Amino acid sequence: DTGVSQDPRHKITKRGQNVTFRCDPISEHNRLYWYRQTLGQGPEFLTYFQNEAQLEKSRLLSDRFSAERPKGSFSTLEIQRTEQGDSAMYLCASSPSGFTGGGEQYFGPGTRLTVT
Partner 1 sequence: GENVEQHPSTLSVQEGDSAVIKCTYSDSASNYFPWYKQELGKRPQLIIDIRSNVGEKKDQRIAVTLNKTAKHFSLHITETQPEDSAVYFCAASKVSNYQLIWGAGTKLIIKP
Q: Which residues, 90 to 109, sit near partner 1 by CB under 8 A? A: 91, 95, 99, 102-109
- Using alpha carbons, select from 82, 74, 91 the residue that is nearest to residue 114: 82
DSSP label of 82: -
Choice between 25 and 43, CB closer to partner 1: 43
Size of the site for partner 1 (CB under 8 A): 23
9: left (phi over 0), alpha (psi -120 to 50) or beta: alpha
Q: Which residues, 28 to 87, sit near partner 1 by CB under 8 A? A: 31, 33, 40-45, 48, 55-56
> Which class for 42: exposed (0-12), middle (13-18), buried (19 or more C-beta within 10 A)?
exposed
Q: Is 12 in the site for partner 1 (CB under 8 A)?
A: no
* Binding residues for partner 1 (CB under 8 A): 31, 33, 40-45, 48, 55-56, 91, 95, 99, 102-110
